[in-house]
Structure 1
Amino acid sequence: MATGAASSRNRKPARIAADWRGVLARWLRRIGGVLLLLILAAGLAIWWAARWTPPREQYPIQGVTIGAANGVVHWGSIKAAGADFAYVMATDGTTGLDPMFARNMTAAREAGIQTGAIHRYSLCQLATDQAANFIRHVPRRADALPAVVWLDYDDRCPDRPTRALLLSELATFLAQIEAHMGKRSLIAPGPAFEADYKVTEGIARTTWLRRDFFEPDYGAHPWAMWQANNYVRLSGADGTVGWNVLRGEGEAP
Structure 2
Amino acid sequence: MFTGTLWPTRTAALRYPVQGVDVSAYQGTIDWDVLAAEDIDFAWIKATEGSGYQDPRFADNWAGAHATDLLVGAYHFLSVDSPGADQAANVVDTVPRNRGDLPVVIDVECYAEYCAAPPDAAAVREVLDPLLEAVEQHYGRPAVLYATRDWYERYLSDGYAENPIWFRSVATSPTLVDGRDWTFWQWSARERLDGYDGDEQLIDMNAFDGGRADLDELLLP
One fold, TM greater than 0.5?
A: yes
Match of 1:183 among 141, 152, 159: 141
- What is the letter of the counterpart of residue 146 of structure 2? A
Q: Which structure's CA Rg is the greater one?
A: 1
Q: Would you say 1:134 and 2:134 are equivalent positions?
A: no
Indicate conservation of the 8 Å contact 2:4/2:192, yes or no: no
Alignment of 1:93-132 (within 5 A): 93-132=50-89
Look up the SS of the partner of 1:135 in the other structure.
Answer: helix
Match of 2:184 among 212, 225, 234: 225
RMSD after superposition: 2.3
Q: Which residue of 2 aligns with 1:34?
A: none
Task: Find the aligned partners of 2:129 and 2:194 in 1 and give their Cα distance.
Answer: 39
Higher helix share: 1
Match of 1:245 among 207, 213, 218: 207
- What is the letter of the counterpart of residue 15 of structure 2? Q
Alignment of 1:45-64 (within 5 A): 46=3, 48-49=5-6, 53-54=10-11, 58-64=15-21
Aligned residues between the structures: 209
Q: Normalising by structure 1, what TM-score?
A: 0.75
Q: Which residue of 2 aligns with 1:65?
A: 22
Identity %: 28
Ranked by relative contact order (alpha carbons within 8 Å, sequence separation 6 or more), the top structure is 2
Per-residue deviation, residues 66-113 of structure 1 (Å, max 9, x unmatched):
110001101111111111000001100011111111111111111211
The runs of 5 or more residues in structure 1 that have no matched partner are 1-41
Per-residue deviation, residues 172-204 of structure 1 (Å, max 9, x unmatched):
11110111112111101111212322x131222
